[in-house]
A and B are shown apart, each in its own frame.
Chain A
Amino acid sequence: SYDLTQPPSVSVSPGQTARITCSGDVLPKQYVYWYQQKPGQAPLLIMRKDSERPSGIPERFSGSSSGTTVTLTISGVQAEDEGDYYCHSADSGGVVVFGGGTKVTVL
């Protein structure tokens, strides 16, 4: 199996930029999907295939990839962006792994 590593927490002031990283050896070859989860709710897909934003997701969310690290960027953070964020990918054999999650706090 393999691991995806995320920072446990990110704190950001409203209007500033938050960057959440997801690192793993498989990432140069596999796409990453990002989910946002708020308390008591199912996760919500906010980015697919590293940098494709699903319809309905605000433009302030963007994704990028470089080597073994994929980054989710939230530009102009709003209070409603507070929550837990998870990256997820699969290896070539179809085994899926989630990162440990990053708690985003809007100060």
Chain B
Amino acid sequence: QVQLVQSGAELKKPGASVKVSCKATGYSFTKYAIHWVRQAPGQGLDWMGWINGGNGNTKYSQKFQGRVTITGDTSANTSYMELKSLRSGDTAVYYCQVATLGYWGQGTLVTVSS
């Protein structure tokens, strides 16, 4: 069955970068886009961007443009989301998602604290 398995929780200092991975199994990685969504504590869902699993094209939210990079490795069926220049407001659970199929990763908690 379809599974999206994300990397583990991260603790980062302000100004640092974080890279979260999302390994996809159970479907053809190149056929669907993978989206990245975050959720700050007690807040709603915030779309960050997506990558086309087939051609690697990306689209980013203006809110994160310039700070986020989403990449994909078709040989490993894995997508990565890197967020730079972290600040305390970036503390959140980060999810990967295959929107068309309705599947989500388990989420990765990123905590930004000095």
Contacts and interface: CB of A to CB of B under 8 A. Distances in A.
Interface of A: 1, 33, 35, 37, 42-45, 48, 54, 84, 86, 88, 93-101
Contact of B104 (A42, A94, A97): A42
Given A95-B59, A95-B61, A96-B35, A101 B45 contact: yes
Contact of A1 (B46, B62, B106): B62
Contacts of A97: 47
Given A94-B50, A94-B59, A42 B45 contact: no
B102 A98 contact: no
Interface string B29-45: 00000010100000011
Contacts, number: 47
Q: Which 5 A-B pairs have the closest CB atoms?
A: A45-B102, A42-B104, A101-B44, A98-B45, A96-B47
Contacts of A45: 102-103
B44 A42 contact: no
B9 interface: no
B53 interface: no
By size class, the interface of chain B is 10 to 19
Contacts of A44: 102, 104
A51 to B, nearest CB: 15
Given A86-B45, A96-B50, A96-B61, 8 more contacts: A1-B61, A42-B104, A44-B102, A45-B103, A88-B45, A96-B35, A98-B37, A100-B44
